């Protein structure tokens, strides 16, 4: 059987969650499967790191096909669709993007989340949670503005169309959590339950693990200007990630713990609300206590995770939450917002706080830092729990779903 895979997202130079999912899933699929043939479709030549991990010299069943396209946009709808008309594989797998207009009967698509639908209601809960009836109308208007900051009118229309198209036309849909599956079924009533299969994400456990080399860890911290002790957040710096409540919760913690030396390290690309976050840090007089690093190369992240006093993930919405597993595998106690998907992924191996209550976040930070037994318990449970996840396991379960089409 010939399996075609859209590898365009996996070939991005700067990757975030869905791109890493594609990258690691593809490289693990070709590593474990020697029976099927693979065609990897891309809009440009594969970068060196991707080619090295594919190890094409030892994986003769893998072919890379660069589909050139003269335009900046519509590669999937245009060029990949043309390829599917004239030279379609037995199965097409699209791990992190929309389906082309034409595709084989046996097509499978991963939908990571439907945040473009859910975000408006999430922001509504956040903004209206403490409002009076007199200002509700104005705040609902702000909700729309907040949502459009993450997804503009055109992208919302496209995401709505492409998701509905995939749910209707793909033979099978993979979601990365039961939460995402249920979210889809709640918002798309006509989708059959048995069409959607849940396959949990993994993480690169060959990279994220306990590190004993203090000198190397200290060198990485010094290179990025990170002072110990520190609390850590990794993810996009945007409103959806609840970054404002994280900053406010940290401010409460510093106010109630005058002698604390803890810094807050923020790692990730800037998103909608970044400028307001910087302004908030200044207004709360936290300029010397918050370290903003932006995007950090993945090879350095495990060293930073290993040194963190606490890893905090305050999101209002996630499809899965891979950084949670990365932190656990590196021995960092994990403090999470109490959203459904993070409770599904972490179970009872993390501490949770009310996502709308920065005071609760502040108190939970203090609990972990001042209770050594709790800290040790979270570290031990996290290390054990993270062993249940890997990209190889994800690839094997995904391959089983492909083979069953």
User: In whole angstroms, how far apart are CA 200 and each of 31, 128, 129?
Assistant: 19, 33, 32
- Of 208-217, 225-234, 264-273, where does mean pLDDT reach its minimum? 264-273
User: With left for phi above 0 and alpha for psi between -120 and 50, is residue 117 left, alpha or beta?
Assistant: alpha
% of the chain exceeding 90 in pLDDT = 81
pLDDT on residue 387:
97
The model's pLDDT over 269-280, given as tens digits with 9 standing for 90+, comes to 888 888 989 999
pLDDT digits (tens, 9 = 90+) for 350-388: 999 999 999 999 999 999 999 999 999 999 999 999 999
- Residue 139 scores a pLDDT above 70: no
Residue 119: pLDDT band (50, 70, 90) is: low
pLDDT in the model for residue 9: 95
Average pLDDT over residues 3-32: 94
Digit-coded pLDDT (tens) for 274-319: 898 999 999 999 999 999 998 899 999 999 999 999 999 999 999 9
Cis peptide before 24 (omega within 30 of 0): no
The yes-or-no verdict on residue 206 having pLDDT over 90 is yes
Higher-confidence residue of 147 and 105: namely: 105
Whether the predicted pLDDT of 140 surpasses 80: no
> CATH number of the domain at 2-117+153-202+391-403, please?
3.40.50.2000
In the chain, list all ranges with CATH 3.40.50.2000: 2-117+153-202+391-403, 214-386
pLDDT of the residue at 235: 92
Q: For residue 349, what pLDDT is reported?
A: 98
Does the pLDDT value for residue 127 go beyond 80?
Answer: no
Rounded CA separation 300/370 (Å): 28
pLDDT band at 28 (very low <50, low <70, confident <90, very high): very high
Rounded CA separation 135/131 (Å): 7
Give the pLDDT confidence score for residue 33 in this predicted structure: 96
Write the CA distances from 92 to 28, 30, 44, 107, 180, integer angstroms: 17, 15, 19, 5, 22
Close Cβ partners of 64 (under 8 Å, ≥ 6 residues apart)? 7, 39, 40, 42, 46, 51, 54, 56
What mean pLDDT value characterizes the chain?
A: 90
Angle at 142 between CA 136 and CA 157, to 5 degrees: 120
Tens digit of each residue's pLDDT (9 = 90 or more) over 64-91? 999 999 988 889 999 999 999 999 999 9
* Domain 214-386 of CATH type 3.40.50.300: no
Question: What pLDDT does 115 receive?
Answer: 87
Q: What is the mean pLDDT of residues 110-125?
A: 72
Which pLDDT score, from 0 to 100, does residue 155 have? 58
Taking the model in full, what pTM does it have?
0.88
pLDDT over 60 at 187, yes or no: yes
Q: What's the pLDDT score for residue 134?
A: 43
**Average pLDDT for 235-256:** 92
At residue 120, the pLDDT reads 54
pLDDT of 171: 97
């Amino acid at each position: 059987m010939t399996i075609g895979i859209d590898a365009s997202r996996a070939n991005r130079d700067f990757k975030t969650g869905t791109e890493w999912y594609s990258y690691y899933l593809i490289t693990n699929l070709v590593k474990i499967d020697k029976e099927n043939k693979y065609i990897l479709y891309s809009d440009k030549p594969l970068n060196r790191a991707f080619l090295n991990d594919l190890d094409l010299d030892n994986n003769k069943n893998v072919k890379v096909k660069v589909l050139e396209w003269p335009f900046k946009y519509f590669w999937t709808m245009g060029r990949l669709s043309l390829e599917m008309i004239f030279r379609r594989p037995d199965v097409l797998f699209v791990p992190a993007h929309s389906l082309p207009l034409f595709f084989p009967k046996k097509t499978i698509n991963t939908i990571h989340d439907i945040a473009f639908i859910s975000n408006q209601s999430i922001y509504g809960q956040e903004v209206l949670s403490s409002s009076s009836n007199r200002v509700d109308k104005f705040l609902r208007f702000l909700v729309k503005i907040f949502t459009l900051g993450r997804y503009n009118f055109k992208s919302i229309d496209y995401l709505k169309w492409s998701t509905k198209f995939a749910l209707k036309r793909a033979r099978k849909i993979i979601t990365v959590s039961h939460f995402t599956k249920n979210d889809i079924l709640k918002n798309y009533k006509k989708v059959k339950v048995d069409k959607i299969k849940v396959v949990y994400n993994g993480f690169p456990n060959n990279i994220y693990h306990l590190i004993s080399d203090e000198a190397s860890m200290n060198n990485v911290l010094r290179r990025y200007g990170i002072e110990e002790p520190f609390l850590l957040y990794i993810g996009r710096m945007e409103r959806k990630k609840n970054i404002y409540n994280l900053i406010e919760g940290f401010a409460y913690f510093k106010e109630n713990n005058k002698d604390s030396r803890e810094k807050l390290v923020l790692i990730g690309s800037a998103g909608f609300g970044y400028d307001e976050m910087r302004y908030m840090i200044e207004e709360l007089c936290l300029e010397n206590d918050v370290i903003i690093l932006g995007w950090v190369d993945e090879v350095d992240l495990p060293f930073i995770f290993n040194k963190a006093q606490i890893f905090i993930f305050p999101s209002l919405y996630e499809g899965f939450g891979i950084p949670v597993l990365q932190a656990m595998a590196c021995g960092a106690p994990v403090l999470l917002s109490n959203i459904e998907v993070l409770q599904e992924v972490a179970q009872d191996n993390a501490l949770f706080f009310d996502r709308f209550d920065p005071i609760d976040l502040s108190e939970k930070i203090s609990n972990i830092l001042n209770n050594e037994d709790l800290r040790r318990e979270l570290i031990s449970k996290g290390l054990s729990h993270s062993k249940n996840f890997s990209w190889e396991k994800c690839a094997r379960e995904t391959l089983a779903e492909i083979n069953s089409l």
